[in-house]
Structure 1
């Protein structure tokens, strides 16, 4: 329960009981990220379904507002930083990391965040109110990705989120969540796209960026969610 509280506190703005963290709790909490994603998804689905009874666009806006609000725009911030870094790097990886570390946002970051929010809004409108189960599963599946990437891809920094969770995922964690995902695919076939997105995004991060940082994990979760939303719409 202590590590679950740590995961909820980091990934959301939901109230959690105060717990005394022990060494290694923050890194180990990554194993519970998909469970926190399911909580996020349930809140998003409930808001979207309820508001969609009045109007589908209102449902999409409510779902998006809860999605951003409950996560504190944490992953959107990472997406903006990655976009700024890639836009300003011009092939220089050191410059890219310096720009990503800068707390200020640039034009590339603004454009990426606006496009991401607009894309999610339209896709949510196409899904609601009928496909609310997909909205519970998508944030959970997207938060499987850091477990895989933290184990399989190198960290680009010696400190920070990306470095702290490197290697924190155990083989049995991946096997356990893979079995859960396989069971979920029986009910929601859209989840079959999860391994493909994991591989595609992981490959792109490795080739284009060189590895993982906290910002890259955040951007990856955002892109993963959008990819699954597109899959749900097409399905």
Structure 2
């Protein structure tokens, strides 16, 4: 029952699908919940890949890629994009005001501008991923980006109050090890293990930057890291297959 509640909580946090009714961070399930983040990413990526495969005979390639990208944003509830835009807003104020600005529910001008640019670049990346017939790697891309969130929660200081602190307190070594092992196992099936190294590199660079600036990470920065990881992995695949 604990495992099911943990999975349901992770699924509800990272997607918009109302399949489960677990929304509370019950004591004892939060570490297990974070352990399932990469699996949720894999399942969401599989949904996108499946939709692309199903619709390929009926929709022109570029238009289908735009549809898959839109679905990608929708099924995650734009949760990580919100964190991305808030984090960007925090970069354009002083260190002392950054956390206050990031907590503001309103998106600032810089956050909006960079988010639009980011979305345009990510959309173009999805179009070319489809062009090179690499959409089957979407499950791995979404999995490793969310594994980065799990790693970030475990290894780096959390600097805000709220549920993030509770997640960090309950996330143990056994949860982390299991998440890494099943992620690598799934990646090996799709021949995408090399993406793990690149995704961790994105995490290390991002976390280093924000740790130096803010002394740690928070929920918005987790979302930022997820989004940036996805974009980097997408473009790595495109560059490798273009060259």
State the TM-score, normalizing by the size of structure 2: 0.87
State the Cα deviation string for residues 173-193 of structure 1 (Å, max 9, x = none).
222233334432471233442
Deviation track 1:9-55 (CA, whole Å, cap 9, x = no partner) reads 11110122324843243454111111111111012222334455432
Show the counterpart of 1:201. Answer: 206
Unaligned stretches of 5+ residues in structure 2: none
Match of 1:98 in 2: 100
3-state SS of the aligned residue for 2:20?
A: coil
In 1, Cα distance between the equivalents of 2:85 and 2:23?
32
> Per-residue CA shift, 1:151-170, capped at 9, x if unaligned?
2111112x224323224322
Over aligned residues, Cα RMSD in angstroms?
2.0
**Comparing 40-49 and 28-37, the one that deviates more:** 40-49
Q: 1:35 to 1:182 in 2, by over 3 A?
A: closer
33, 41, 45: which one aligns with 1:41? 45
Secondary structure at the counterpart of residue 23 of structure 1 = coil
Pairing 1:5–2:3 present: no
Task: Single out whichever of 133-142 and 193-202 deviates more from structure 2.
Answer: 193-202
Aligned residues: 231
Superposition pairs of residues 224-235 of structure 1, within 5 angstroms: 224-235=229-240
Q: Give the stretch that moved more between structures: 26-35 or 142-151.
A: 26-35
Question: Cα distance 1:206–1:139, how it changes in 2: closer, same or farther (>3 A)?
Answer: same
Q: Is the counterpart of residue 148 in structure 1 residue 151 in structure 2?
A: yes
Which has the larger displacement, 163-172 or 2-11? 163-172
Question: In the alignment, what sits opposite 1:133?
Answer: 136
Say which SS state the counterpart of residue 30 (structure 1) adopts. Answer: helix
Aligned to 2:176: 174
- TM-score under structure 1 normalisation? 0.89
Q: Unpaired runs of 5+ in structure 1?
A: none
* Aligned pairs (5 A) from 1:55-70: 55-70=60-75
Distance 1:35 1:106 in 2: 33
Q: Distance in 1 between matches of 2:19 and 2:197?
A: 33
Alpha-carbon spacing, 1:161–1:216, altered in 2? closer, same or farther (3 Å): farther
Give, in whole Å, the separation in 1 of the partners of 2:184 and 2:162: 32
The answer as to whether partners of 2:35 and 2:179 remain within 8 angstroms in 1 is no
Matched, 1:216 2:218: no
Say if 1:221 and 1:20 are closer, same or farther in 2 by CA, change over 3 A: closer
**Cα deviations by residue, 1:68-94 (Å, 9 ceiling, x for unpaired):** 1001000000111111111122xxx23
CA distance in 1, matches of 2:238, 2:15: 26
Query: Is residue 49–residue 135 contact of structure 2 (8 Å, CA) maintained in 1?
Result: yes
| Residue 232 of structure 1, CA deviation | 1.6
Stretch moving more, 218-227 or 39-48: 39-48
Q: Which residue matches 1:31?
A: 35
Q: Label 1:20 to 1:57 Cα distance change in 2 as closer, same or farther (>3 A).
A: closer
